[in-house]
Every structure is written in C-alpha cells, then in structure tokens.
C-alpha cells in the first residue's frame, strides 16, 4: 500500500532522513517508533506530499506521491502532530469544513466516524480551542477520516495525552484497522509498539530495525539482570564501575544490567554488591522489552557510525 | 534517601474555583530526599496542587507547609527554596547556556563567587565545556533537559519540582536524566515529579494518583502494582482513572 524507496531528506546541514526504504502492507497498523528528531515527521510529511524528498521515491496505492499529489491527498487522511484544526470554529463546523474540502459531507461517511465522533457530539457547538486534550484528539481524528481515506497517517497522536485517552485512542485505531483502513502512526513512546502489527524503530534518520514487535525483541533481545538495592544512585555508579558490566540503565524500579559475555553469574553480582556495602539486594533474570532492544540497537548504530 | 524529615506537609488541602473543586481534601507528606511522583489524568488537579506547593497560588483551606514555610504567609520564602523545571518552559532559547546560568543565578541572588563555582561544577558535570557559549535553542532536547535540571538546582534548593520532565527524548538520554535525578536524591534533594506518563512513575520512590481532585492511591509503585494486581503502573492508573473518566465525559 505504501512504499518508500531509498528516500533521503536534509534541511541544510541536518540529515533528517537518510536512505530509508520500507513498505506498509494493506490493512496494516504500522508504527514509526523513535525519539524527537529521529525523522518521523519528515517521513510522514513526505508521504502525504507536503514535503519533497531530496532523493528516492514514495508510492501510495500504486501512485507516485510527487507526480500524483492531488490524487494522493484524496486517498490519505492526515493528522499532524500539532493540533491544526480551526480553534475558533465549533466542533461541528470543523468537521463539515473538512468534509466539504474533499467534496463530501458529514452524513455521507458518518458511519465511519460514529464511534469516535459520538463521544464529542454533545459538545458539537463548542469551539475547538475550548476542548480538552482528549476531545481535541478525537475531533482531529474525525476530521482526518471524514472523507473516507484509504490510508490514515497519524503523527504522534498520543503525545501529551493522558494514559486513559491514549489507551482509548489505540482501541479506536484497532477498530479503524478492522474497518479496512491502512494506518501508519508515529510515536516516541516505546510501550506503544506492542499495539502495532509491525514497527520501524528509527533514530537519527535511519531505521534500526523493522518487524513485528515480538520478532524484534526475539531477534535482538539480550539477556539482562534486574537489579535493585536500597541506595539507588550508588548502585548505578558502582555497577558502572564494575569491570564485568557491559551496560547498566535504570528501568523503573530496577536497573537493567548486562554483563560482558562469558562473565559473572548471579552469585558474583551479589558478592560484588555486598563488597560495596549494598543492602536489600535483589537480582533476578529479566525479560528484554522493546526499549531494551532500542537501546542496544542505538548503541550498535552509534559504534558503526564512529567506525565509518 | 537520607534522614526522615518531612519537607512537604499537606493536610486537607482544598482549592475551589467558584463551585468547581479542583483539589478535594488532599493529605500527604513528602520526605527529604524522596522521589515523589504526582500522577493524574489531564484535569485531575495536579497542576493546581503543584502551583500551591510552589507558592504561586493560595489554597481555599487546609494546612500546607513546604520546606517548613507556610503557603499562606511565606510564599516568597518557598519560592526561594525550591527549584522548578518543566518540559514546556525552563530556559531561554535565545540566550546562551552561560547567560541562562547567570540569569538564574541573578534571580536567586547568588553571590559572584558561588555563581562561578556553580558554573564550573556544571561544566564538569555535563562534560562539555564548549556548550557554555552556545544558544540553548541550538542544543538537542536531551541536553536542554539535563541543563534545565542542573539550572533548577543552581541555588541549592531543598526541593525540585519537575513537570513532565522527560518526554520525547531517546531511551538512553532519558536514563541519563534519571541518573541525575537519583544523584540529586542521594544528595538529600527532594524531587517532586508530576507526569501522566506511567513509565516515569515507576522510577519514583512513592507515587500518588489523583482522580477528580482527590488522591485515590498513595504508595510505592511495587506496592500499588501488588494492591491492584497489575503488571505495570499503566494498568494501575487505568483501573483507577477509568472510574472518573465517565463522570467528566
């Protein structure tokens, strides 16, 4: 459905996207996962024909995006990262404006937005600028859908939104996927990877890995130890100083400790920590998650760039 | 964590805006050196409570002290003894790092000798002497966050308030930031974090969850997960916050 072929884009000296190729299949919920500055927005803006790639090509539903931008724009629904509806138009006015721009009407595709829109319909006379964050997000999604797009493009829809609204939002995307819409969505939140069929982990304009979230973890996940002790800061600095340590990072309540291969086991970890006067020591084997993998791939990628 | 002194004491904090009760009888204490997470959905009343604790707004009723100062009568003393950092605003983007430091040192009336000492400390800590003359706006987000945190501590406050501090950065930079927070906490600085990102909550010593202006839960993340039979703080939060969401619409 979507295909990026060797796409690059730079802004002056800044290489935002370097030689990226990937595909999104029909009816897929595809995630672009990476921090600010990874190139997510640039990729999506090129996809919806708002930016031109410097090199490479992008196709959507068989059309070259650059040559057929008018057609492409009617095929995609785009929800940009910043709230970009008309703040001084009402909820209803925004929706009918977006419908009319595409030569459609609210009535024509109401069924598609109904589950989302009916939650904000009681506030349809309210100005968009006066809505809460969660409601703005629902309105923006309704506006992106009202012309019945084939592909839905969402740029960080859950940034700045609370946990409950985030959860509901991903449920809505699941339903839209079931309705046959292909979705490409970007997010800086690693935990949202699990809600996607496939994800691309991106960093500094490059794809680190692309696969189903499960396979990414299976392929790249490395064993680590979950470590806890009373003095958390001392625990980090002591473990950083240990010759057996490959890496150590805080992950919520625990530190994730990776040891150099062929090195120490649990007894040696505990002995080392006891020697350094730690109390209430916990050490158990941990299961890697997508964020562990992201960190490993980032580190490898940095090394490669330094060598190259 | 060191000592067991209470640096924030809140008893029956109520804040009303007209008929709307933004904070409904909040009661909690925060201990010296603790990393205290203050969570809630949008509109749950976090910002209102934090503004009161920072001396920026007066409560309707309740007994509240911060660093031993009373929020009704001693808000200026509170402002001088706390630090504040927010994701949205902390530093001036069109001033250099050194200018921002000098500006904040001036705001807190640091003597010249102390300011120079702080500048040197910060240069060492950030391992990047050359950034001192760079515009803050030109730095990567991760640097800005670390810098903003360091500057929030320039006047050696007893408490630092962090308002959604770590959004958007890569996972390594984010962990470097938490390491700075742990270091501050190990040095006896109390860290008060408001966030609606539940993974940030799991880094805290104790966490409160606000729903509709009230504190619904207050405990260590591990204990909360156990109490609610949840595998993550996100699940704990969803369980608690869902009840309220219906009422708000």
Sign, CA torsion A240/A245/A251/A255: negative
Sign, CA torsion A105/A106/A108/A112: positive
Cα separation of B54 and B65, whole Å?
10
Matching CATH number, B35-44+84-248, of 3.40.190.290, 3.40.1160.10, 3.40.50.460, 3.40.50.300: 3.40.50.300
Question: What is the structure's pLDDT at B1?
Answer: 39
Question: What is the structure's pLDDT at B120?
Answer: 84
Q: How many CB pairs under 8 A join A and B?
A: 93
In B159-218, which residue ranges form alpha helices assigned H by DSSP? 171-186, 198-201
Mean pLDDT of B72-90: 90
Q: Report pLDDT digits (tens) over A67-83.
A: 999 999 999 999 998 87
Helix-then-strand count for chain B, H and E = 9, 10
Residue B181: how many other CB atoms lie within 10 Å: 23
Least confident span in A147-156, B109-118, B152-161, B163-172:
B163-172
What three-state secondary structure class fits B128? coil
Q: Report pLDDT digits (tens) over A219-260.
A: 999 999 999 999 999 999 999 999 999 999 999 899 999 999
Nearest C-alpha of chain B: how many angstroms from A182? 26
**Closest residue on chain B to A190 (Cα):** B171
Mean pLDDT of B128-155: 87
The percent of residues in chain B predicted with pLDDT above 90, rounded, is 61
Nearest C-alpha of chain A: how many angstroms from B202? 4
Facing residue for A252 by CB, picked from B199, B245, B249: B199
Give residue B89's pLDDT band: very low, low, confident or very high (50, 70, 90). Answer: low
- DSSP for residue A219: H
Nearest C-alpha of chain A: how many angstroms from B88? 11
Mean pLDDT across chain B: 89
With an 8 Å Cβ cutoff, is A164 touching chain B? yes
Check whether B76 has a pLDDT greater than 50. Answer: yes
The percent of residues in chain A predicted with pLDDT above 90, rounded, is 82
Question: Which domains does chain A show, CATH number per domain?
Answer: 2-211 (3.40.50.300), 223-287 (3.30.70.2070)
* Residue from A92, A89, A151 nearest A117 by CA: A92
* Residue from B45, B236, B42, B178 nearest A160 by CA: B42
Mean pLDDT across chain A: 93
Q: Provide the ipTM.
A: 0.86
Question: What is the structure's pLDDT at B165?
Answer: 82
Q: Could you report how far apart the first and last alpha carbons of chain B are, in Å?
A: 41
Comparison of pLDDT for B164 and B237, the residue scoring more: B237
**Closest residue on chain B to A292 (Cα):** B171
**Closest residue on chain B to A186 (Cα):** B168
Query: What's the angle, vertex CA B239, arms to CA B237 and CA B245, rounded to 5?
Result: 85
Q: Report pLDDT digits (tens) over B20-67.
A: 999 999 999 999 999 999 998 777 889 899 999 999 999 999 999 999
Facing residue for A249 by CB, picked from B43, B175, B234: B175
Q: Do B186 and A161 touch (CB under 8 A)?
A: no
Check whether A200 has a pLDDT greater than 70. Answer: yes
With an 8 Å Cβ cutoff, is B235 touching chain A? no
Check whether B2 has a pLDDT greater than 70. Answer: no
Nearest C-alpha of chain B: how many angstroms from A62? 34
Radius of gyration of chain A (CA): 23
Question: What is the structure's pLDDT at B247?
Answer: 45
Q: Do B196 and A162 touch (CB under 8 A)?
A: yes
Q: Do A233 and B182 touch (CB under 8 A)?
A: yes
- Buried residues in B190-213 as b, exposed as e (16+ CB within 10 A): bbbbbbbbbbbbbbbbbbbbbbbb
Question: What is the structure's pLDDT at B160?
Answer: 97
Check whether B3 has a pLDDT greater than 70. Answer: no
Q: Do B249 and A234 touch (CB under 8 A)?
A: no
Strands A206-211, A224-228: pairing kind: unpaired
Q: Report pLDDT digits (tens) over A116-129.
A: 999 899 999 999 99
With an 8 Å Cβ cutoff, is A253 touching chain B? yes
The percent of residues in chain A predicted with pLDDT above 70, rounded, is 100
- For residue A162, list chain B residues with Cβ-Cβ distance below 8 A: 40-42, 196, 241
């Amino acid at each position: 459905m979507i295909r990026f072929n060797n796409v690059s884009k730079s802004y002056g000296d800044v290489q935002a996207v370097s030689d990226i190729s990937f595909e999104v299949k029909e009816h897929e919920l595809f995630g672009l996962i990476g921090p600010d500055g990874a190139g997510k927005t640039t990729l999506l803006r090129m996809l919806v024909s708002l930016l031109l790639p410097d090199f490479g090509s992008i196709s959507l539903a068989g059309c070259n995006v650059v040559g057929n931008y008018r057609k492409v724009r009617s095929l995609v629904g785009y929800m940009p990262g910043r709230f970009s509806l008309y703040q001084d138009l009402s909820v209803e006015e925004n929706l009918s404006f977006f419908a009319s721009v595409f030569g459609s009407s609210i009535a024509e595709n109401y069924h598609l937005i109904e589950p989302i829109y009916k939650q904000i319909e009681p506030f349809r006379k309210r100005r968009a600028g006066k809505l809460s964050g969660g409601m703005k997000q629902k309105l923006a999604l309704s506006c992106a859908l009202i012309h019945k797009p084939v592909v839905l493009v969402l740029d960080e829809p859950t940034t700045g939104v609370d946990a409950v609204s985030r959860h509901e939002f991903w449920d809505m995307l699941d339903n839209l996927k079931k309705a046959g819409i292909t979705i490409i969505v970007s997010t800086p939140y690693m935990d949202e990877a699990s809600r996607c069929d496939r994800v691309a982990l991106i960093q500094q304009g490059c794809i680190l890995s692309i696969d189903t979230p499960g396979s990414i973890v299976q392929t790249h996940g490395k064993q680590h130890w979950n470590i806890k002790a009373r003095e958390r800061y001392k625990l980090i600095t002591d473990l950083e100083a240990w010759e057996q340590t490959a890496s150590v990072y805080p992950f919520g309540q625990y530190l994730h400790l990776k040891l150099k291969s062929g090195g120490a086991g649990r007894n040696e970890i505990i002995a080392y920590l006891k020697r350094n006067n730690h109390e209430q020591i916990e050490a158990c084997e941990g299961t890697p998650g997508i964020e562990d993998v992201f960190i490993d791939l980032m580190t490898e990628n940095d090394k490669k760039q330094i060598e190259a | 964590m060191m000592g067991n002194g209470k640096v924030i004491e809140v008893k029956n904090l109520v804040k009303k805006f007209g008929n709307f009760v933004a904070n409904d009888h909040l009661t909690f204490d925060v201990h010296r050196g603790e990393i205290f997470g203050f969570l809630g959905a949008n509109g749950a009343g976090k910002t209102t409570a934090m503004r009161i604790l920072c001396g920026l707004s007066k409560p309707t009723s309740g007994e509240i002290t911060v660093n031993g100062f009373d929020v009704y009568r001693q808000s200026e003393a509170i402002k001088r003894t706390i630090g504040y950092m927010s994701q949205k605003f902390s530093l001036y983007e069109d001033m250099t790092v050194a200018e921002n430091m000098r500006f904040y040192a001036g705001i807190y009336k640091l003597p010249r000798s102390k300011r120079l000492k702080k500048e040197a400390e910060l240069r060492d800590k950030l391992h990047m002497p050359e950034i001192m003359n760079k515009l803050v706006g030109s730095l990567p987000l991760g640097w800005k966050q670390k810098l903003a945190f360091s500057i929030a501590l320039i006047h050696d406050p007893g408490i630092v308030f962090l308002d959604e501090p770590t959004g958007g950065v890569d996972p390594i930079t984010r962990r470097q930031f938490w390491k700075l927070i742990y270091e501050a906490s190990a040095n006896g600085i109390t860290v008060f974090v408001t966030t609606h990102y539940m993974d940030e909550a799991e880094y805290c010593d104790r966490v409160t969850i606000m729903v509709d202006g009230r504190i619904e839960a207050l405990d260590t993340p591990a204990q909360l997960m156990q109490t609610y039979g949840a595998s993550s703080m996100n699940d704990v939060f969803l369980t608690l916050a869902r009840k309220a969401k219906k009422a708000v619409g």
